[in-house]
Amino acid sequence: MKLASEKGAALSERVPVLDLSRFLTREHHQIHLVGVAGSGMSGLAALLIELGHVVSGSDKVSTMETDRLQRLGLRFDEQHLPEHADAAELVVFSSAIKTDNPVLVRARDLAKPIARRAEALASLMRAKRGIVVAGMHGKTTTSAMTAHVLREGGLHPSHYVGAEIPILGTNAHWDSRGEWFVAEGDESDGTLELFHPEHTLVLNVEEEHLDFYADLAAIEKVFARLIEQTNGTVFYNIDDASTARLCATRKKRISFGFSDTADYRGADVDLHAFQSNFCVYSRGKKLGDLVLNVPGQHNVHNAIGVVALATELGIAFDKIANSLRRFEHARRRFEIKYASERFLLVDDYAHHPTEIRATLETARAVGRKRVLTMFQPHRYSRTKALCKEFAGAFENADRIVVTDVYPASEPPIPGVSGQIIVDEIVRHGHRGANYQPQFERVHWDIGNTLDVGDLVLSLGAGNIHEQLSILAADLVIAEQLKAIVGGTGKVRLYEPLSKHTTLRVGGPAQFWVEPQTENTFAELIRFCRDENLPLFVMGRGSNLLVRDGGLRGVVIHPCGGDFDKIEVNGSEITAGVGAKLREVAYAAKTAGIGGLEWMEGIPGAVGGGLRMNAGAMGAQTFENVVRVRYLDANGEAHTKTRDELDVHYRNFPLLEKNFAVSAVFRGQPAPLEEIVRKLEASQEKRRTSQPAAKSAGCIFKNPDSCPAGKLIDELGLKNSRIGKARVSEVHGNFIVNDGGATAAEMLELIDRIKATARAKRGIELETEVQIVGEPA
Residues carrying an active site annotation: 139-140, 184
Quote the least distance from Cβ 555 to ligand EPU, whole Å.
21
Residue 548: closest CA among 504, 603, 491: 504
- We find the least distance from the C-beta atom of residue 708 to ligand EPU, in angstroms, to be 6
> Of 250, 552, 701, 752, which lies in the binding site for ligand EPU, with binding defined by CB under 6 A?
701
Cα four-point dihedral sign 62, 68, 71, 73? negative
Q: Which is nearer to ligand EPU, 130 or 609 (CB)?
A: 609
- Binding segment for ligand EPU (CB under 6 A), chosen from 100-108, 561-569, 615-623, 746-754, is 615-623
Window 571-610: residues binding ligand EPU (CB under 6 A): 601
Residue number of the CB closest to ligand EPU reads: 697
Of the listed pieces 101-109, 292-300, 578-586, 697-705, which binds ligand EPU according to CB under 6 A? 697-705
Say whether residue 96 binds ligand EPU (CB under 6 A): no
Helices (H), 492-616: 518-531, 581-590, 606-612
**Separation of alpha carbons 428 and 418, rounded Å:** 16
Q: Residue 518 in contact with residue 661, Cβ under 8 Å?
A: yes
When asked if residue 694 is in the footprint of ligand EPU (CB under 6 A), the reply is no
- Least Å distance, CB 764 to ligand EPU, is 15
**Which CB, 337 or 685, lies closer to ligand EPU?**
685
- The correct pick among 304, 588, 616, 654 for binding ligand EPU (CB under 6 A) is 616
Q: Which is nearer to ligand EPU, 24 or 614 (CB)?
A: 614
Which residue of 176, 480, 488, 689 would you call a contact of ligand EPU, by CB under 6 A? Answer: 689
Residues in 510-569 at the binding interface with ligand EPU, rule: CB under 6 A: none
Identify residues 708-747 at the interface with ligand EPU (CB under 6 A).
Answer: 709-710, 713, 731-733
CA-based nearest residue to 435, from 383, 488, 486, 358: 383
- DSSP codes of every residue in 262-306: -SEEEEEEEE-SS-EEEEEEETTEEEEEEEESS--HHHHHHHHHH
Per CB under 6 A, 768 contacts ligand EPU: yes
How many CB atoms are located within 10 Å of the residue 381 CB? 18
* Alpha-carbon span 100 to 104, nearest angstrom: 7
Nearer to ligand EPU, 467 or 733 (CB): 733
**AA identity, residue 350:** A
Report the distance separating Cα 47 and Cα 25, nearest Å: 10
**Under rule CB under 6 A, residue 685 binds ligand EPU:** yes
DSSP SS3 for 344: strand
Between helices 380-391 and 353-365, what is the axis angle to 10°? 50
- For 613, the 3-state DSSP assignment is coil
Strand 114-116 to strand 90-93: parallel, antiparallel, or no bridges (unpaired)?
A: parallel
Choices 176-184, 557-565, 695-703, 747-755 (CB under 6 A): range interacting with ligand EPU: 695-703
CB 685 → ligand EPU: shortest distance, Å? 6
Instruction: Answer for the pair 227, 202: CB distance below 8 angstroms, yes or no.
Output: yes
Task: Choose among 680, 639, 513, 660: nearest CA to 578.
Answer: 660
State how far the Cα of 64 lies from the Cα of 639, in Å rounded to an integer: 53
Are the C-beta atoms of 675 and 594 separated by less than 8 Å? yes
Smallest distance, Å, CB 616 to ligand EPU? 3
Residue 537 near residue 576 (C-beta atoms within 8 A): no
**290 lies in the site for ligand EPU, by CB under 6 A:** no
Residues 443-472 that bind ligand EPU (CB under 6 A): none
Site size with ligand EPU, rule: CB under 6 A: 19
User: In the beta sheet, which residues pair with residue 508?
Assistant: 496
- 423 near ligand EPU, judged by CB under 6 A: no
Q: Which residues bind ligand EPU (CB under 6 A)?
A: 601, 614-617, 685, 689, 697-698, 701-702, 707, 709-710, 713, 731-733, 768
